[in-house]
Structure 1
Amino acid sequence: MAIGTAIVAVMAPAVAAASAAEDLQAGVAAWKAGDHARAVALWRPLATAGVADAQFNLGQAYRLGRGVPADPRAARDWYLKAAQQNHAQAQANYGLLLYEDGDRAGAMPWLQKAADRGDPRAQYVVGTVLFNGDPPPRDWVRAYALMTRAAAASLPQAVASLAEMDRYIPLDQRQQGIALAREMGRGATAAKPLPAAAPPTASPRTAATPASSPASGKAKGRGWRVQLGAFGDADRAERLWRQISAADASLADKQHYVVKAGSVTRLQAGPFGSSAAAEQACAAIRRQDHPCFAVREP
């Protein structure tokens, strides 16, 4: 899973000096201008003084090797310092680094904290672990809720995993999961969204291992589709399309797509001009007790 390249520009409340706030902002400006060495030079004294945002930013610099030599251990150390100050993005990044290093026991408490605060990458990993029950216990209701939250944040792999979960989790548990996802949405203290690359596509039956490549950002210029299910064969997808399209007027002028992804066949329909339009169509489809999620066109 990519860790992300976001740089935080918000001043920590514990440091009130105007000059420190200016240095933090100046570092952000230098980073955006490509002067990474200057950004690091501005942030380092603040990070040493305990400013969580500057600590997180140094972690990003060491992770990506910008302004300093790439050093995963230093990145992890700076993420940890910020995470211990309850910095949401640092908690997610630190947990993901531990996870990809194979320290799942150490990673999960941090990923759980980040998932509770609304980080979709952490929600994806924790949801996958709970679905698999590895480590136990298995909790399909909470797994479905977390994956629903991650999918709602347009994390493509979460959308795909949620559709696959529909094949295994009974309807009553999925409904409980959706209700729990709503409660999570009301209670979460969400971190600022990161322009981070999503975790690799993986079946919920397989543990999700974060990759280490830099973030690529969201693709632009594509339309939207709705995803209606995932099946073991194309015939089932075609039958569902005939059933749903006949019952839902919003799909009358839409094309359907049978998308092969390994052993899974996904049924999608579109195109829609925006995510809002796709979600509006999904809302009507879900009222017929069919799962539906908005996805980007490939």
Structure 2
Amino acid sequence: MRLIGLFAAAMVMAVPASAQSVRAGIDAWGAGKPEQAVAIWRPLAARGSADAAYNLGQAYKLGRGVPADLAAAQRFYEQAAKAGHLEAQTSLGLLLFQNNNRTAALRWLKQASDAGEPRAMLVYGTALFNGDGVPEDRVRAYALVSRSAAQGLAPARTTLGEMDQIIPLAERQKGVALAQQLASAPASSAAKPVKSSPVKTASVPTTPRPATPPPAAGAFRIQLGAFRDTASAQRLFASLENRLNGARMTLVPSGTMTRLQVGPYPTRAAAAAACAALKPQACFPVAAN
């Protein structure tokens, strides 16, 4: 970790010493002062705070308070992940997956999945179902996706419905029994959240919360890509879901491909604005069928 420059140190000194905490950075972030938040978190991360390192990873991924830099985001995610930060383990796994480093991605996603992180359970469970980078195990896949769906993750509920159409009842019953067993098992010491501050309160919001709920109906969606298998589409949606303000996933068959669309939006302009908020993710508005 590089030493903090004089300019960054001056920024930190501008905040009272008693306020130099992860929580103070979260408050600054929420107040629309991401540069101040980053200045607070940086020395804390240098001193080993996993929560601060995770939040810096979020800042670099989003390009808020610092220039967008996925390599820097990965470094900070990895620092927090190695300290047992579950959200960092999942975010690191998803980022590595997007960079086609599946071996490392699945290692981190499995670790977070073993500790019950819902996004990790969905992605790792889908990989187990498809035998994608790991040996196929549909019973465990069903167990993990069931647990993820039970925690309210919408893409997990969609995936579970698809599994219900494919996996025989006897295997699904085994999956439910395994899910109950996993839910009651104590987490391993390596997978426990760090104790320096609560992980949940250390999470950086990816986008401001909307002042009003998203529209319930609309004539437009945004298309995020076309995939040869639905699992890839679902993984992308899971990685972007917390930036979509409640918009729903729609998988549209198109020949041998599956189009990932999200919405609805009332106008093409609203859909275009939603795309702009997802940059650098490729995206364009389409008419809802």
Which bracket does the TM-score occupy, shorter chain normalised? 0.5 to 0.7
- Paired residues for 1:131-280 under 5 Å: 131-187=129-185, 189=187, 206-207=231-232, 208-210=234-236, 213=240, 215-216=242-243, 219=246, 262=252
Distance 2:108 2:163 in 1: 24
User: How many angstroms apart in 2 are the aligned matches of 1:187 and 1:20?
Assistant: 39
Q: Is the Cα contact below 8 Å between 1:131 and 1:139 reproduced in 2?
A: yes
**For residues 30 and 58 of structure 1, do their structure 2 counterparts lie closer, same or farther at Cα, with a shift above 3 Å needed?**
same
- What percent identity do the matched residue pairs reach? 45
Identify the residue that residue 30 of structure 1 maps to in structure 2: 28
Please, what is the CA RMSD of the aligned residues? 3.3
Q: Alpha-carbon deviations, 1:126-159, whole Å to 9, x = none? A: 1111111123421010000011011112222111
Structure 1: which amino acid aligns with 2:60? Answer: Y
Residue 99 (structure 1) aligned to one of 89, 97, 100:
97
What TM-score do you get using the length of structure 1 for normalisation?
A: 0.61
Separation in 2 of the partners of 1:69 and 1:21?
25
> Retained in 1: the 8 A contact 2:62–2:206?
no
Q: Is 1:118 the equivalent of 2:116?
A: yes
Q: Which amino acid aligns with 2:169?
A: L
TM-score of the superposition, structure 2-length normalised?
0.63
Return the alpha-carbon distance in structure 2 between the equivalents of residues 20 and 145 of structure 1.
Answer: 45
Question: For residue 216 of structure 1, what is the amino acid of its counterpart?
Answer: R
* 1:203 shift after superposition: 9.4
- Structure with the bigger percentage of helix: 2
Shift of 1:163: 0.9
Larger Rg: 1 or 2?
1
Alignment coverage as a number of residue pairs: 208
Deviation, structure 1 residue 117:
1.4
In the alignment, structure 1 segments of 5+ residues that lack a partner are: 1-18, 223-259, 264-298
C-alpha spacing 1:43/1:205, structure 2 compared with 1 (3 Å): closer
SS in 1 for 2:165: coil
Assess if the C-alpha contact under 8 Å between 2:102 and 2:133 holds in 1.
Answer: no
User: 8 Å contact 1:59–1:74 — kept in the other structure?
Assistant: yes
Partner of 1:4: none
Distance 1:92 1:188, change over 3 A: farther
